[in-house]
Amino acid sequence: MVITVPKFTSNIGKSFCKTLKRDNTFKANLDKLGSSIWKQCEGTITVKEILDVVTKEFPDEKNIDQRLFLFLQQLGALGYLVY
Together in a domain, 26 and 46: no
In terms of domains, do 38 and 20 share one? Answer: no
CA atoms within 13 A on the CB side of 58: 17
Domain ranges, residue 20 = 1-30
Query: What is the separation of C-alpha 29 from the centre of its chain, rounded to a whole number of angstroms?
Result: 10
Q: In this model, does residue 68 exceed pLDDT 90?
A: yes
Residues 25 and 48 in one domain: no
24 and 39 inside one domain: no
Cα dihedral sign, 44-66-71-1: negative
Q: What is the pLDDT of residue 13?
A: 80
Q: Given a cut of 80, is residue 3 above it in pLDDT?
A: no
Amino acid at 27: K
82 and 42 in a single domain? The answer is yes
Select the more confidently predicted residue: 49 or 76: 49
pLDDT tens per residue across span 18-60: 888 887 776 888 899 999 999 998 888 999 999 999 999 999 9
